A = this chain, B = another copy of it.
Amino acid sequence: MIDKRVASMAEALAGIADGSTVLIGGFGAVGQPNALIDGLIEQGAKDLVIVANNAGMDAKIGLPRLMAVGRARKLVCSFPRGSTVFDELYKAGRIELEVVPQGTLAERIRAAGAGIPAFYTPTGVGTKLAEGKEQRHVGGRDCILEHALKADVALVEAWRADRWGNLTYKGSGRNFNPVMAAAATLTVVQSQHIDELGALDPEAVVTPGVFVSRVLHVPYGDPPPGNRRAEVARPEAKR
């Protein structure tokens, strides 16, 4: 019987080595595998290269805490702004940063999962982020060559999972999670719900189990409220 469910956090994160590249899903506070990140701090792996869209907000949980306790050597990220923890570490020269355009980041991770070692893209041409990259006119546009971003570990938050590792997500919690799940050697999932095999509609599975290594049941609850809308005089007739 294929059973990717694990009973404990220790089992979920067993074997993650120092120096690993770790993909972490989530966008804002939604779809962030915070329990797994806290587990990774416990687990003790250090010198990590973390790949995540944001550097996190709340210093007390998840990614900022991982960085605060000094486990991250480098952050690969599209939008590291807003994290006081990262800010201080970065200014102190205690963490490296690779800024990657968000779409290029998603595509580089997808490429790793899809066996595409490199691809051309017009995104970033003529900017500071293209420095040192091969440039080429292809398909009628100037492009740069970007490489697959393959990882040792992916930490993923799902809404539903079964023992084969099939996953669904909730709302905008999907974001980077399905893309990252396919791009790592070891993909560890914290899932809000665990279903019987066969309970998930085959048409509705977003991440097929082939991409998943371990599933831990973490009834994490809902994410905290998002940011407040910018204050501005609103018109009478809203859409």
CA of A57 to CA of B138, assembled, Å: 37
Which residues of A (74-128) have their CB < 8 Å from a CB of B?
107, 111, 114-122
Q: Closest residue of chain B to A201, judged by CB?
A: B204
| Residue A147 interfacial (CB < 8 Å) | yes
Contact B119 A168 (CB under 8 A): no
Q: Which of B117, B121, B138 contacts A139 (CB 8 A)?
A: B117
CA of A79 to CA of B167, assembled, Å: 32
| Residue A23 interfacial (CB < 8 Å) | no
Shortest C-beta distance, A159 to chain B (Å), equals 9
Residues on B with beta carbons closer than 8 Å to the beta carbon of A170: 203
| Residue A158 interfacial (CB < 8 Å) | no
Residues on B with beta carbons closer than 8 Å to the beta carbon of A155: none
* Known contacts A147-B139, A168-B203, A119 near B111 by CB under 8 Å: yes
* Known contacts A168-B203, A203-B204, A204-B203, A115 near B119 by CB under 8 Å: no
Shortest C-beta distance, A24 to chain B (Å), equals 22
| Residue A141 interfacial (CB < 8 Å) | yes
CA of A121 to CA of B143, assembled, Å: 18
Contact A118 B147 (CB under 8 A): no
Shortest C-beta distance, A95 to chain B (Å), equals 26
Which residues of A (125-139) have their CB < 8 Å from a CB of B?
138-139
Binding site for B on A (CB under 8 A): 107, 111, 114-122, 138-141, 143, 147-148, 168-170, 203-204
A-B pairs with beta carbons under 8 Å apart, 25 shown:
A107-B114, A107-B116, A111-B119, A115-B121, A115-B122, A116-B119, A116-B120, A117-B120, A117-B122, A117-B138, A117-B139, A118-B119, A118-B120, A118-B139, A118-B143, A119-B119, A119-B120, A138-B147, A139-B147, A139-B148, A168-B203, A169-B203, A170-B203, A203-B204, A204-B204
- 12 A-B pairs besides A118-B139, A138-B147 with CB distance below 8 A are A115-B121, A116-B119, A116-B120, A117-B138, A117-B140, A117-B141, A118-B120, A119-B119, A119-B120, A139-B148, A170-B203, A204-B204
